[in-house]
Structure 1
C-alpha cells in the first residue's frame, strides 16, 4: 500500500493502515528523524481505542498503553540503544513475540530481535510538506 498525505490527514491514514487485510501486529517504522514516525504511531494508538495520551518513549525506550478493552500496545523508540545486546537484556524479544501490537521506531538498532514476520512502514517527506508512506506487510 502506498499513500501520500499531509499531516492533517494522519488519522485517516491510521485508519487505512489498521484496515489493511492481514496486517501484522509487529510494525517497524523506517524514516529519518522528524518525518513523523511518532506522530503516526500516536494516531494508530488513538485509533486502537487508547484514551491516554501517547508520547515518544525516547528516554524510556518503551511505552505501554492499554486499549479500552485493556489490551496492551507497545511503542518502542530504540534510538538510544547502544547495541543489540542492550535490547536483548531488556527483553525486547518477549514484547515482540507477545502477540500484542508493537510499533517500533529505529528497528535497525536490533535487527536480529525483530520477528521475521512483521510489517514495515517507510515514511519519506515529499514536496509541499507532504509525506509518502509505503506499507509492506
Structure 2
C-alpha cells in the first residue's frame, strides 16, 4: 500500500489506521531519511492504541518502551550505533517476544543481529509531502 501524506495530522491518521490490524510478536522496520516522519508514525500508532504519555525519539536512548495492559511496544532507533554487535550488549533479543511489538528505525545498521521484519514501512520525502509505503 502506498499513500501520500501532506502533514503530521495525516501521518498520525495513517498510523492509526495501520494500528487497527497490528498484533503482538511483530517486528516493523521503519525506513526513511532523517526527519522523514518515522517517529511521528510510531507516535500515531501509540496514540491510537490509547497511550497517553509523551512519545519521544529514541535517537539518544536507543530504545523507548511503552507498556500496555497485555503487551509492550518497543521503539528502537539504530542511527547512532557504530557496530551491530552493540545490539547484543543491550540484550536486543529479549525484546522480541510474543507480548511485544517492535518498531525499528535504521534497521540496516542492525545487520545480522535483527530477525526478519514482519512489515516494512518506507517513508520518502516528496517536497513538502511524504510517500508512505507499507509492505
> Structure 2-normalised TM-score?
0.88
Q: Which moved more, 1:13-22 or 1:72-81?
A: 13-22
On the 8 A contact 1:124/1:133 being kept in 2, the answer is yes
Structure 2 residue aligned with 1:134: 133
Unaligned runs of 5+ residues in structure 1 are: none
Q: Which moved more, 1:116-125 or 1:18-27?
A: 18-27
Q: In the TM superposition, what is the alpha-carbon distance from 1:99 to its structure 2 partner?
A: 4.0
On the 8 A contact 1:58/1:79 being kept in 2, the answer is yes
SS of equivalent to 2:132? strand
Evaluate the alpha carbon distance shift between residue 106 and residue 21 of structure 1 in structure 2; reply closer, same or farther with a 3 A threshold: closer
1:43-82 deviations in Å (ceiling 9; x for gaps) = 1111122111110111110011122x26321011111111
On the 8 A contact 1:25/1:99 being kept in 2, the answer is no
> Structure 1-normalised TM-score?
0.87
Structure 1 residue aligned with 2:65: 64
SS of equivalent to 2:87? helix
Q: In the TM superposition, what is the alpha-carbon distance from 1:9 to its structure 2 partner?
A: 0.9
Unaligned runs of 5+ residues in structure 2 are: none
Q: In the TM superposition, what is the alpha-carbon distance from 1:111 to its structure 2 partner?
A: 2.0
Distance (whole Å) between structure 2 residues aligned to residue 13 and residue 54 of structure 1:
17
On the 8 A contact 2:72/2:99 being kept in 1, the answer is no
- Are residue 106 (structure 1) and residue 98 (structure 2) matched? no
Structure 1 residue aligned with 2:77: 77
Distance (whole Å) between structure 2 residues aligned to residue 6 and residue 78 of structure 1:
26
Structure 2 residue aligned with 1:91: 91
RMSD: 2.0
Q: In the TM superposition, what is the alpha-carbon distance from 1:98 to its structure 2 partner?
A: 4.8
Where has structure 1 moved over 6 Å in runs of 4 or more? 21-24
Structure 2 residue aligned with 1:17: 18
Evaluate the alpha carbon distance shift between residue 3 and residue 113 of structure 1 in structure 2; reply closer, same or farther with a 3 A threshold: same
